[in-house]
Structure formats: structure tokens, C-alpha cells
């Protein structure tokens, strides 16, 4: 997988400056806030500081409390539209974005490969510029992360990663909100990943240490996370004083874990590798035997859809499984992202403990 971290960071910085200047031109100076995310892209959690991640989770908690529990109507997206570009099928990402944006009074427009072919019928550059004139934000679920980089560079509106081959930031925000709700905080938790070194893991790796969480990763040989992201993770762990373990032994990784996490072993586009992958991941199924090595307060997460070879029914449907709360929180966290990137709204709820 080709990925130049230095160039990516430079592009992200230049894009952010460009959008900040454009926003100030039209709307004047931004409001004085400790965290101000309006106009930003969300392509990877690596580009967000610890305070910015906490702000997004605080925003999600606030919206969930006010809308779901208090029954308030907050038309924060009224008059705004969202372009949703999906090269890959989806249940949770599509539903959470569509229903969440509409619940806030906005208009989401869903575009599949039958409606728009990124870089085929029209260049990515032209697509980004057209969408910037017709909508207020773009959420794109794509095969190639480089496509998101180019869109963000050319667009004058926020571009949000709904999933790419490299990252899945929206999923991890939902995971963190779920853990914060369950444990009352994130700092000091140990997350254990048992499975493929994929995009979901990459998003955990680039953010967990910023929130004070330790990370233990077990992947089969040949299925490790991207080396460049591993180096970033090692730097983050050192900077924030957290522990990091990479191993091929699932039980070693599970030792003293508060959170057991896995995901599909065969991502979309890898179907031809199914036989090889099932063989390589033998012994990586999460079971109650795995959980015996974890901490007494262990919980289980999975981004769904789940297959039995990844985790057995006893764990998946156990009281320790938070997967359906996790799925619901996809909605509240994506709403938090939209509100943060498109408005000056500040959470009214007291800031949770992280």
C-alpha cells in the first residue's frame, strides 16, 4: 500500500489554511472557542488533537442527550445539504449519515456508482469543485484513500471520510463514545485488537494514545497494520505515555484487556482472498476462552456486519457485548462531526470525563 505520510500531512495543512481563509472571507473571524473545527476536513483521526477528539465526543453526547433523551428539535443543518458518495455498499454509515443529517434539518443526497463515477466520467478535481458549489459538505466512502486526499485538496467545503482502504474514523468515534458511556471515561483503558491489520485498526492506532488508552494488537503474520501507521502509533504512544504491544498471539494480546475488538477478516474487494485469509486467521476467533485472559470488566466491540468465525455467539450476544449500542452511536458521532464542521454550535451539556 503506497502512502506518503509527510505529503499527506502537508496537503491536509494547506487545505485547512485554504478553507479557513475562505470561511473568514464570507463569514468574518471565527467565534472565540477553545476548540474550533468549523470548515475542517475529517479524513483521519491522526490530524485531530486530543482536545479536538474529546470535543467531538462531547458534542455527540450533547446531541444524544438533547435530541434522544430530552426530545428537543435542533435544526442545526436547516438549509444545508450533504453529498454522500458511496463506492462501497453500507448499512450503518449510510443510515447514520442520512437519518442524522435529516434529523438536524438538512438534506442528504445519496450518490452511488450508478450516479457518479469518481475520476471516470468526470475528474475528481471537477467533481470536488462542482459539489463545493452545490452542497455544504461531502461524505465519501471510497476504495482509495488517495481519492479523498485529492477531493479535500480541491474542495472548498469539508470532506469527510466515510471509509477508505486506509482509515475508518467515523467508526472509531462511535467506539470511543460507546466506551465512554460504559466505563465513564477512556483514560487508562486497554484496548485489544484481534484480527486483520485493516482500516478500522489504523484509526484506533492513530487516536487511542491521545485519549490515554493502551493498545494491544494481535494479527497473523503477513496481515500486520501498515508499517507507516505503526511508526506513527509508536510515536503517539511515547508522546502520551501509553503502552503498545504488537504480537501474533491472540491470547497474549487479550491479557488484562478492558475491551476486546475485532472486525471482518475479509474486507470488500478481498473476496478472492477468502480461502487464504480463513486459513491464516485460524485461532483468531474471539470466544469466552479469549475473554478469560481479559480484565474482569471486559467488553466486546465489532463494527458489523459480523461473521461467526470472527467471534462466536456466546461472546457476541453476551451482556459484555456493546455492539448494538456501538452501532447506534454511529449516528450521534456522525451528527457531532457535521455540527462541528458546519456550524458554530457549542455543546450545552456538561463536558464528560475522558
pLDDT at 270: 66
Domain definitions of the chain by residue range: 5-168+330-342, 170-327
- Top-confidence range, 31-40, 80-89, 197-206, 264-273: 197-206
What value does the mean pLDDT take over residues 231-257? 98
HSE-CB for 209 with a 13 A CA cutoff: 20
**Worst-scoring range by mean pLDDT, 106-115, 165-174, 217-226, 261-270?**
261-270
What value does the mean pLDDT take over residues 123-147? 95
What value does the mean pLDDT take over residues 243-256? 98
User: What pLDDT digit, counting tens, does each position of 5-37 carry?
Assistant: 455 445 444 555 555 444 433 333 333 458 999
The CA-based dihedral angle spanning residues 176, 177, 182, 185, taken in that order and rounded to the nearest 10 degrees: 70
Fold of domain 170-327: Rossmann fold (3.40.50)
Quote the pTM value.
Answer: 0.89
Same fold, 5-168+330-342 and 170-327: yes
Instruction: Please say whether the beta carbons of 204 and 181 come within 8 A.
Output: no
User: What pLDDT digit, counting tens, does each position of 48-70 carry?
Assistant: 999 999 999 999 999 999 999 99
Best CA proximity match to 302, nearest among 206, 168, 211, 188: 168
What value does the mean pLDDT take over residues 80-99? 94
**Worst-scoring range by mean pLDDT, 9-23, 234-248, 251-265, 293-307?**
9-23
Residues carrying an active site annotation: 303
Which of residues 275 and 293 earns the better pLDDT score? 293
Residue 298 pLDDT more than 60?
yes
What value does the mean pLDDT take over residues 328-354? 97
Residue 238 pLDDT more than 60?
yes
Q: What percent of the chain has pLDDT over 70?
A: 88
pLDDT at 34: 83
Q: Domain 5-168+330-342 carries which CATH code? A: 3.40.50.1370
Instruction: Please say whether the beta carbons of 339 and 158 come within 8 A.
Output: no
Amino acid at each position: 500500500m503506497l502512502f506518503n505520510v509527510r505529503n499527506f500531512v502537508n496537503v491536509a495543512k494547506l487545505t485547512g489554511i485554504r478553507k479557513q481563509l475562505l470561511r473568514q472571507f464570507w463569514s468574518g473571524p471565527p467565534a472565540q472557542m477553545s476548540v474550533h473545527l468549523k470548515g475542517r476536513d475529517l479524513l483521519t483521526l491522526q490530524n485531530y488533537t486530543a482536545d479536538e477528539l474529546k470535543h467531538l465526543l462531547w458534542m455527540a453526547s450533547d446531541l444524544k442527550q438533547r435530541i434522544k433523551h430530552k426530545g428537543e428539535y435542533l435544526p442545526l443543518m436547516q438549509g444545508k445539504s450533504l453529498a454522500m458518495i458511496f463506492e462501497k455498499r453500507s448499512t450503518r454509515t449510510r443510515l447514520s449519515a442520512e437519518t442524522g443529517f435529516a434529523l438536524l434539518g438538512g438534506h442528504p443526497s445519496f450518490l452511488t456508482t450508478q450516479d457518479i463515477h469518481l475520476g471516470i466520467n468526470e475528474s475528481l478535481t471537477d467533481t470536488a469543485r462542482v459539489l463545493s458549489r452545490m452542497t455544504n459538505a461531502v461524505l465519501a466512502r471510497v476504495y482509495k484513500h488517495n481519492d479523498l486526499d485529492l477531493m479535500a485538496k480541491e474542495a472548498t467545503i469539508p470532506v469527510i471520510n466515510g471509509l477508505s482502504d486506509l482509515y475508518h474514523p467515523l467508526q472509531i468515534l462511535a467506539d470511543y463514545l460507546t466506551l465512554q458511556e460504559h466505563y465513564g471515561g477512556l483514560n487508562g483503558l486497554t484496548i485489544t485488537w484481534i484480527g486483520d491489520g485493516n482500516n478500522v485498526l489504523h484509526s484506533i492506532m492513530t487516536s487511542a494514545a491521545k485519549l490515554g488508552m493502551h493498545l494491544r494488537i494481535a494479527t497473523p503474520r503477513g496481515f500486520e497494520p501498515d508499517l507507516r501507521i505503526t511508526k506513527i502509533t509508536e510515536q503517539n504512544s511515547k508522546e502520551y505515555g501509553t503502552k503498545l504491544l504488537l504480537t501474533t498471539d491472540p491470547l497474549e494480546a487479550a491479557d488484562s484487556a478492558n475491551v476486546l475488538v475485532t472486525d471482518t477478516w475479509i474486507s470488500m474487494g478481498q473476496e478472492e482472498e477468502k480461502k487464504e485469509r480463513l486459513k491464516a486467521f485460524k485461532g483468531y476467533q474471539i470466544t469466552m476462552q479469549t475473554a478469560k485472559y481479559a480484565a474482569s470488566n471486559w467488553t466486546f466491540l465489532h463494527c458489523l456486519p459480523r461473521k461467526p468465525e470472527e467471534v462466536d455467539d456466546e461472546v457476541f450476544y453476551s451482556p459484555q457485548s456493546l455492539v448494538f449500542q456501538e452501532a447506534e452511536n454511529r449516528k450521534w458521532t456522525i451528527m457531532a462531526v457535521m455540527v462541528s464542521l458546519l456550524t458554530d454550535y457549542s455543546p450545552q451539556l456538561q463536558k464528560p470525563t475522558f
